[in-house]
Structure 1
Amino acid sequence: MYLTKETKEEIFAKHGKGKNDTGSAEGQIALFTHRINHLTGHLKQNRKDYNTERALVKLVGKRRALLDYLTKVDILRYRAIVKELGLRK
């Protein structure tokens, strides 16, 4: 499986306040980004997998909503996570 417990803890430790801080917006955005990158790679190989495509679109929407929330609450945290994850060109 591509997303193990250790991988999640590493993502939350790097982007959240700690490895057990699974509720922070930054940690959730980082986890969604990791999953989106994995699904994108899967869809490049399996173009007709429409269920995965739907899941990808839903994940992108969830990440977009969290980024919008972070923009409203604290613009500096938003800019930091976008720069750290490389979400904007």
Structure 2
Amino acid sequence: MVKNSFISVIPQEKEENRGSVEFQVFSLTNKIRRLTLHLELHKKDFSSQRGLRIILGKRRRLLAYLSRKNRIRYKKLIDQLNIREQKVR
């Protein structure tokens, strides 16, 4: 249900375009938000903390790829999802 609402929010060329970078970042962001809420209640759940760090790394790599390939789509995505821009090293 959440995925279908995202497809209507971000217009895409095809319905099958669920493997796009934008959709992957969106689904990872939802997982991050759910895990963050879980960890606020269960502070010593170290397995979930490790999973959260792994998901954050995946999202960071996808966003880095998108910022290299298409800066306009990157800016639009981080504005829609209300996430901070990456630090440049």
TM-score range with shorter-chain normalisation?
A: 0.7 to 0.9
Contact 1:13–1:19 (CA under 8 A) maintained in structure 2:
no
Q: TM-score, normalised by structure 1?
A: 0.84
Percent identity between matched residues is 32
1:80 and 1:47, CA in 2 relative to 1: closer, same or farther beyond 3 A? same
Matched, 1:7 2:2: yes
Closer, same or farther in 2 for the Cα pair 1:13/1:19, shift >3 Å? farther
Structure 1 residues 22 and 16: alpha-carbon distance in aligned structure 2, compared to 1, 3 A threshold: farther
SS in 2 for 1:60: helix
- Structure 2: how far apart are the matches of 1:25 and 1:71? 11
Indicate if the aligned counterparts of 1:70 and 1:78 stay in contact, CA closer than 8 A.
yes
Unaligned 5+ segments in structure 2 are none
Structure 1 segments, 4+ long, off by >3 Å, are none
- Compute the RMSD of aligned alpha carbons: 1.7
Q: Larger relative contact order (C-alpha < 8 A, sep ≥ 6)?
A: 2
1:27 is aligned, of 8, 23, 28, to 23
1:59 and 2:71 aligned: no
State the TM-score, normalizing by the size of structure 2.
0.84
Match of 1:38 in 2: 34
User: Mean alpha-carbon deviation: is it higher for 13-22 or for 55-64?
Assistant: 13-22
Q: Post-superposition shift, 1:19? A: 4.6
Q: CA deviation at 1:43?
A: 0.2
Q: Which amino acid in the other structure matches residue 42 of structure 1?
A: H
